[in-house]
Structure 1
Amino acid sequence: MSDDPVHFRCDIADGVATLRLDRPDRKNPLTFDSYAELRDWFRALPYRDDVKAVVFGSNGGNFCSGGDVHDIIGPLTRMSMKELLAFTRMTGDLVKAMIGCQTPVVAAVDGVCVGAGAIVAMASDLRVASHDAKTAFLFTRVGLAGCDMGACAMLPRIIGQGRAAELLYTGRAMNAEEGAAWGFWNRVVDRDALEETAQDMAARIAAGPNFGHMMTKTMLNQEWSMSLEQAIEAEAQAQAICMQTADFTRAYEAFVAREKPVFEGD
């Protein structure tokens, strides 16, 4: 994993990695290269100990305008079916990498958040928006299906089947207040407070029991496909494992001493 990526910005401080797409003049579109580099960065995340939370931030007043019209959309119209499937699998792999990275991800969304950008926000664990955020799943607007990068599986779980169907069929924009009412956003704040709010959320996560957070993220995603009985048993096993960690003992000892626990992630 590179801490100096070519196709996006990455800043790491105090256990929090802050990522930003870096083409603000174009409202931060994704390209073939940035898709692949982001996928690889998230895939490598479980193998490092210095990143305990991720903020996927905005840049220049916008989050992401989706796939670049000139760098992606145009070339796709000239590709073979085999090449197209390789591309759509790669974009889906970014979502799978974000879900499987074992580290909580906070999306900090300002301005435009559409197409694949809306998917990146959707695939994050927590989502904070400015009042200026406009989110749209635009795929039908360009002649495609709304079922892109896991949208038909994940979006209904966040905002409900009927609301997801409306956004995916029509491609219309969801404003920040509507998204908050529907549960897409965890919090909506003024633009000036967006970065601070997201960083504060990430810092609180980074200061927590990181092994426990990893297990929480794992179970949140695995339990989608479990029965209730399977989920309860899986959580029993996960919690028993967490009870063997030093952080669990630290929390107990701090409680007895009337002190705040200091977690170390082991």
Structure 2
Amino acid sequence: MTRSAADALLAGNRTTLATYDAKHFGWSVNAGVATVTLNRPERKNPLTFESYAELRDLFRQLAYATDVKTVVIHGADENFCSGGDVHEIIGPLIDLPMPELLLFTRMTGDLVKAMRHCPQPIIAAIDGVCAGAGAILAMASDMRLSTARSKLAFLFSRVGLAGCDMGACSILPRIIGQGRAAELLYTGRSASGEEGYAWGFYNRLCAPEALLDEALKLAADLVAGPTFAHGITKKMLHQEWSMSIDEAIESEAQAQAICMTTRDFERAYRAFAAKSRPVFEGD
């Protein structure tokens, strides 16, 4: 393949998302930070069939985005997300046959897969209600900032369903431990912001009025770092769950060797030698 052919192939796979026209949630991109706003505050920002699918498709596109380095997801007004809309999702599901129900549960699971596989770190800014599928969105994010008044609840048992929804039985125990995860998934009870922070679900608690600014500042700090290397870190954090220690160490050796070929690695060395702060460019 010639250089020009390779450039054309790569150009066809790259995309910019600053002008993406979201239909079912708010979307903006500023200086490498994308903000997703779940925007149905009158219902505490529930998800619908359409918003599930559009979020899944958007996070898949992020794998090819050149203008997005970090993502912040939050809810409009004083709540994060109340889960799947009771009337627009749960009601219709009662009348669907099993094959169509499986299509739905696979689609919602694909949203979590897309979040875990996109290279950008995802920061969830969580205030108020964070329940059901909203709790899953928070769980699937890489970092979570919250408020003391937040209420985290995996509500599936409350509607006659198992707690094993969208990867919860795999991911949640890795964040807060098996026993604590079992308690939340069996009982469906709410955990306060202080409890979630003490358990390690939240990275920090913020004042409600400062929550989004704190999340955006953290996102900007990540954008200022070696973003290609951040993508490798995210990949390895996810991939090493199913590895032995020996496999993980070898995989990290290979991943780190790849990072050592980047210009950012060279920039860091030259800045150190010049006693200055490196300016990373993500390549």
Q: Identify the residue that residue 196 of structure 2 maps to in structure 1.
A: 179
1:260 counterpart letter in structure 2: R
SS of equivalent to 1:36? helix
Out of 151, 157, 182, the residue aligned to residue 168 of structure 2 is 151
Out of 89, 92, 98, the residue aligned to residue 109 of structure 2 is 92
1:47-67: per-residue Cα shift (whole Å, max 9, x none)? 111100000012111000000
Let me know the Cα RMSD of the aligned residues: 0.7
Are 2:49 and 1:38 aligned?
Answer: no
Out of 5, 15, 24, the residue aligned to residue 7 of structure 1 is 24
Matches within 5 A, 1:144-223: 144-223=161-240
> Matched residues in 2 for 1:76 and 1:174: separation?
28
1:145 shift after superposition: 0.2
Unaligned runs of 5+ in 1: none
1:192 shift after superposition: 1.0
Q: Identify the residue that residue 60 of structure 1 maps to in structure 2.
A: 77
1:132 shift after superposition: 1.4
Are 2:146 and 1:114 aligned?
Answer: no
> Matched residues in 2 for 1:130 and 1:200: separation?
16
1:224 shift after superposition: 0.1
TM-score, length-scaled by structure 2: 0.93
> Matched residues in 2 for 1:228 and 1:78: separation?
47
1:193 shift after superposition: 1.2
TM-score, length-scaled by structure 1: 0.99
Out of 136, 146, 151, the residue aligned to residue 153 of structure 2 is 136
Are 2:99 and 1:71 aligned?
Answer: no
The higher radius of gyration belongs to: 2
2:273 counterpart letter in structure 1: V
1:22 shift after superposition: 1.0
Q: Percent identity?
A: 65
Out of 11, 20, 38, the residue aligned to residue 21 of structure 1 is 38
1:214-255: per-residue Cα shift (whole Å, max 9, x none)? 000000000000000000000000000000000000000001
SS of equivalent to 1:169? helix
> Matched residues in 1 for 2:223 and 2:25: separation?
22
1:149 shift after superposition: 0.3
> Matched residues in 2 for 1:190 and 1:246: separation?
39
Out of 90, 102, 108, the residue aligned to residue 119 of structure 2 is 102
Query: Once superposed, which parts of structure 1, at least 4 consecutive aligned residues long, lie more than 2 Å away?
Result: none
> Matched residues in 2 for 1:52 and 1:102: separation?
8
1:162-194: per-residue Cα shift (whole Å, max 9, x none)? 000000000000100000000000001110110
1:148 shift after superposition: 0.2
Unaligned runs of 5+ in 2: 1-16
